[in-house]
Structure 1
Amino acid sequence: MTIELPRDRMDQVLKRFEMLEAQMAAGPEPDKYVKLASEYSELQEIVAGIRDLRTAEAELADLKALLADRATDAEMRELAAAEVPEVEERIESLRASMQIMLLPKDEADDKSAILEIRAGTGGDEAALFAGDLFRMYERYCAKHGWKVEAVSASEGEAGGYKEIIATVSGRGAFAHLKFESGVHRVQRVPETEAGGRIHTSAATVAVLPEAEEVDIEIRNEDIRIDTMRASGAGGQHVNTTDSAVRITHIPTGIVVMQAEKSQHQNRARGMQILRARLYDMERNKAADERSEARRLQVGSGDRSERIRTYNFPQGRVTDHRINLTLYKLDRVIEGDLDEIVDALISDHHSRLIAAMDGDG
């Protein structure tokens, strides 16, 4: 099947790129140059793709012209005929790549992320599983060169975490982690289970794009900050000085608690998490208003939706949204998530392409 591309959109991209080149060459002010250079670098990959595609299409047209020309000698005709399938295959591959590059882009994709994991049903076993998930994401992120830093944690009594919140810093972190939001379910025999019975427990994952101050404005009069003595469970994560900070966003009722050692750091971290939650709320509201776009997400993004099951006795991991089952749970739990993440992104692209074809 031949992939049809929006030629006018490709022309616009090329014109914009050439205009940016000319403006940068004209020696603008430094701050203007930085903005131009940022957009220029974002367009470079797609422009290279468009140029490669057009070169290949011109090559195919030349080959077909040679074959159609009666004056072409037999040897040249044979060479041209042999080259046509190879060039056609290259064109289809370039068109498929270009189709994905031209899809509507989620403006948050390039951002860093806030990762929140909470133990669900299952008591101690759920907290242990939340710990396993956090380590899985830590290893996955390390492979991609993203830095993971825990900003708040409440430890489980038998290990793991009742709740852990971390920042994942690095370009594109949100794009790769955003489909992890939802309920993750584990089926395994707990170490404390003498009878060998399989227990089912769960943990909830939420992935939010990290918001800059320019993304979301928080007015001083909209927040209330309470400081208090940190106490209770939490091991080394909680200090018993007056350092715990609770930030309440009055218009939405969102509450963020931070209980690390430095009160100043708690406030900064708390504001960082609050900004991310408000930004996520705004994105979801906008997506709900564009109900079609909401429907196109892999799953609904609803954090109460069961998205994946990790079955230890069978060594199986199943993503329920795309009916993908892999029998390599040991590797997945060690952070080898690429096959699952790539399949989710690919499924999302397919849905967007199908929707665009439907609109056309």
Structure 2
Amino acid sequence: MAKPRSAPRLADVAARAGVSIATASRSLAGREGVSEAVAAHVREIALQLGYVANVHARTLAGGATSTVGLIVHEIGDPYFAEIASGVIEVAAQRGLTVQICHSARDPRTELHQIRTLIAHRTDAIIVAGSGYTEPALQAESNAVLQAFQDGGGRVAVIGRHFLAADAVRPDNEAAGRAVTAHLLELGHRRIGVIAGPAVLTTVADRLAGVAAALADRGLSLADVPVLHTDFTRNGGHAGAEKLLAEHPDLTALIALNDVMAIGVLSVLRAHGIAVPQQMSVAGVDDVAVAADLAPSLTTVRLPMTEMGELALTMALKPPSARKRRKTTGHELVVRDSTGPAPTPAP
């Protein structure tokens, strides 16, 4: 019987790349003292060989110093704060430490953080937030994470990703459908949508839900203005200003996340537009502050804390032959920011 092939070592990477072991180590850890060209070459060789820094096969349950890496898109976004709280709660119960990283929705930054977490002997990595509609944007991250798992590491993702990992998938399409159907039932037909970047799968899925609700009423997404902007409070603010200027007949605005909706409400307040008497506003997520806004925000509740808990729980389990997929529920929460469509002036 042939002997199983041993895992590639740092020395193998250094030899293949034609550099010293010290240079190879600095390149893979992202430390200073190595040019970007050399570091990129070393990373490519490591990827070809299937090398993962500090490969270890110990399980999470057995290591007293085990660390979980959590990569989020925006550390200041309440959506990710609530996910992080769920991860931290489960980690505390298991005696694990959580290291949180911020990718700013940049796939290259995300890849760098994945490599850094692996180099720091992280036992499990959770990537929280949207994937990208183009698989190529995460192809290298996928290869690195696969090698990490082959070496004994564990991975789980939150959102729809093109990554070979266990996944917790929010009901994004159902959420977009629910919030749109709510406004249609209130009589709104002149509805504007403020969306995040089209490259994010979360945006694509929520927009698909909006389109489905419109289709149920014989309408089309082409019948409503959709503005793609940053998935942030400032993005919602800028988007609302633009839609109000270009479409003054709108009676409702859907923001595809709550922090954007907060920016929308700020613009309407500044323009003296009464909510919901003149304009209804709705979001998605139901972050903790949504109920405390004035007016309180109609939104779709996603179980963000539970999503974080579930993701880490999945990562702590032994790997399965097929990647696990868990879909969350959702709940329409009607508050003060939506009301019947205003009657057109005679």
TM-score range, shorter chain: under 0.3
Which structure has greater strand proportion? Answer: 1
Q: Comparing both chains, which one has the higher relative contact order based on Cα–Cα distances under 8 Å and sequence gaps of 6 or more?
A: 2
TM-score, normalization by structure 2: 0.21
Give the structure-1-normalised TM-score: 0.20
Structure exhibiting the larger radius of gyration computed from Cα positions = 1
